[in-house]
Amino acid sequence: MTELPRPARDSWKTSAGFVLALVGSAVGLGNLWRFAYTASTGGGAAFVLVYLLFVFGIGIPILTAELAIGRATGTSPIRALDRIGGPRWRRVGGMFVFAGFAVLSYYSVIMGWVGRVLVDSIRGAIPSDTAGYFAGISTGVGAVLFHLTGIAITALVVQGGIRRGIERAATILMPTLFILLAALAIWSFTLSGAGAGYAFFLRPKLDSLLDGRVIAGAAGQAFFSLSLGMGAIITYASYLQGQQSLPGQAVIVGLGDTSVALLGGLVTFPIVFHFGLADVVLANPSGALFIALPQAFQQLGAAGTLLGAIFFLALYIAAITSAFSMLEVVVSGLIDGWGAPRRRATLLVAVAAALAGIPAALSLDYLSFIDKLVGEALIVLGGVFIAVLTGWVWSRGAAAELTRGFPHPRLQFAWIWLLRTVVPIVLAITFVTTVRQLGPLAEALF
């Protein structure tokens, strides 16, 4: 009997499927949970402009760099960085894998809250005191159970592989998400008070932009929202085969991600203002989503049950398609590095992330600390390394990979110089500012 050939590495079936999975990774809780709050309190339209500047000036160059590293090496982050930068860069790869794992562990706790509100809206079981309700569901046994469920569903998809798991899920879920959100935005546009909501969200407040923390917040938010600095994009791109235009894809992802962030604000603020709940939003970063909106939906009776279910379903879809990419970072490392079978690797990482997330499901203080430490500081530091690696160490290879199939020397030149100069400097400043805000413990860690 002849031996069967080893199956080749998994890959994306279509370019469209790949882009949908990438947008799925980018569009997540960051867009709907963090963006609206940060923008409305941080300067409205002025914040949005600064944010866009970061997305296109810093985010897209790094996104393109991660795509180039992934496609050129065809392997998971630790091995990928080793291959292009040498063994010293393995540690940076290890930092990415750690970040992916750590973010997954608490991200799925927040996703769990969304799942809980979704289930309770359908059951009509949300009490009128939504602040008390949220305090009850955000920590404790219930939070742990919904966190475990989220990890389990994520693992179920990821164990199916790239083509039959992640790509297939993203191809169904992402269009669904856009339709749900667009429908909600149209509905909330018809509410009285919509104008005040839009104004609250977008009225430019220039003075808040003089605060360095707001600027650093915009950069960190852009970074998190594009799924950068933790190897997620490198990992997804490592399953590419072919000659796609990487800058083109990066721009699609940047535009898709930013439009959903804006759409999220256009959905939420009219509702919040229609029901006179602006104070709730200002009081607490989770206030808009988990306290004000459930209350608003409740006041609408049966229609509210339906609208609430649609909203939280959309949010859950956004979150889980991001969670796929975090889990895949670690799983692909075990497959490529140790030859582990995908199923076993997925199970192992899922169990570990489930356990690691339990503290975040028990303490909100811990959750916000680790979110800032890893979800803001560490990934931005990861970005500095990506910029240095592609701009200085691997610049020739990177430039060639960037424009594989369509030589474009000027684009290569501009991109490499951005990565050499502006990008790492801005990211390093952001990193320092973020760590300073975190206090003595984080300063000691770095």
Measured from the CB atom, is 27 or 68 closer to ligand PHE? 27
CB-based contacts of 204: which residues, under 8 Å, 6+ apart?
Answer: 43, 44, 45, 46
Measured from the CB atom, is 230 or 288 closer to ligand PHE? 230
Joined together, the tokens standing for residue 121 give: 């809206």
22-30, 70-78, 284-292, 343-351 -> range binding ligand PHE (CB under 6 A): 22-30
Q: What are phi and psi of 354, to 5 degrees?
A: -60, -45
76 near ligand PHE (CB under 6 A) = no
Provide the sign of the torsion angle of the four alpha carbons 436, 437, 440, 441, taken in this order: negative
28-36, 141-149, 178-186, 268-276 -> range binding ligand PHE (CB under 6 A): 28-36
| Contact yes or no for 67/228 (Cβ under 8 A) | no
Residues in the chain: 446
How remote is the C-alpha of 132 from its chain's centroid? 28
Joined together, the tokens standing for residue 222 give: 């852009």
Other CB atoms within 10 Å distance of the CB of residue 393? 17
| Contact yes or no for 321/21 (Cβ under 8 A) | yes
Cα–Cα distance, 420 to 359 (Å, whole number):
39
How many binding residues for ligand PHE (CB under 6 A)? 15
Least CB distance from residue 315 to ligand PHE, whole Å? 10
- Using CA atoms, how far residue 221 sits from 157, 304, 320, 355, 440, in Å, is 27, 31, 19, 27, 22
Near ligand PHE by CB under 6 A: residue from 23, 29, 262, 292: 29
Least CB distance from residue 286 to ligand PHE, whole Å? 14
The type of residue at 278 is: A
24-32, 137-145, 277-285, 362-370 -> range binding ligand PHE (CB under 6 A): 24-32
Question: Rounded to the nearest 10 degrees, how much is the dihedral formed by the CA atoms of 111, 94, 77, 220?
Answer: 50
| Contact yes or no for 158/368 (Cβ under 8 A) | no
Least CB distance from residue 254 to ligand PHE, whole Å? 12
Cα–Cα distance, 119 to 24 (Å, whole number):
22
Other CB atoms within 10 Å distance of the CB of residue 210? 9
Joined together, the tokens standing for residue 259 give: 């439009």
427 near ligand PHE (CB under 6 A) = no
Near ligand PHE by CB under 6 A: residue from 21, 31, 62, 333: 31
Cα–Cα distance, 128 to 298 (Å, whole number):
7
Near ligand PHE by CB under 6 A: residue from 78, 110, 158, 326: 326
Least CB distance from residue 87 to ligand PHE, whole Å? 25
433 near ligand PHE (CB under 6 A) = no
CB-based contacts of 89: which residues, under 8 Å, 6+ apart?
Answer: 81, 82, 385, 389, 393
Measured from the CB atom, is 261 or 387 closer to ligand PHE? 261
Interactions with ligand PHE, residue window 81-120 (CB under 6 A): 103
30 near ligand PHE (CB under 6 A) = yes
Least CB distance from residue 26 to ligand PHE, whole Å? 5
Near ligand PHE by CB under 6 A: residue from 28, 43, 161, 264: 28
64-72, 82-90, 320-328, 409-417 -> range binding ligand PHE (CB under 6 A): 320-328
325 near ligand PHE (CB under 6 A) = yes
Interactions with ligand PHE, residue window 206-235 (CB under 6 A): 224-225, 227, 230, 232
Measured from the CB atom, is 328 or 336 closer to ligand PHE? 328
| Contact yes or no for 348/356 (Cβ under 8 A) | no
List residues binding ligand PHE (CB under 6 A). 25-26, 28-31, 103, 224-225, 227, 230, 232, 322, 325-326
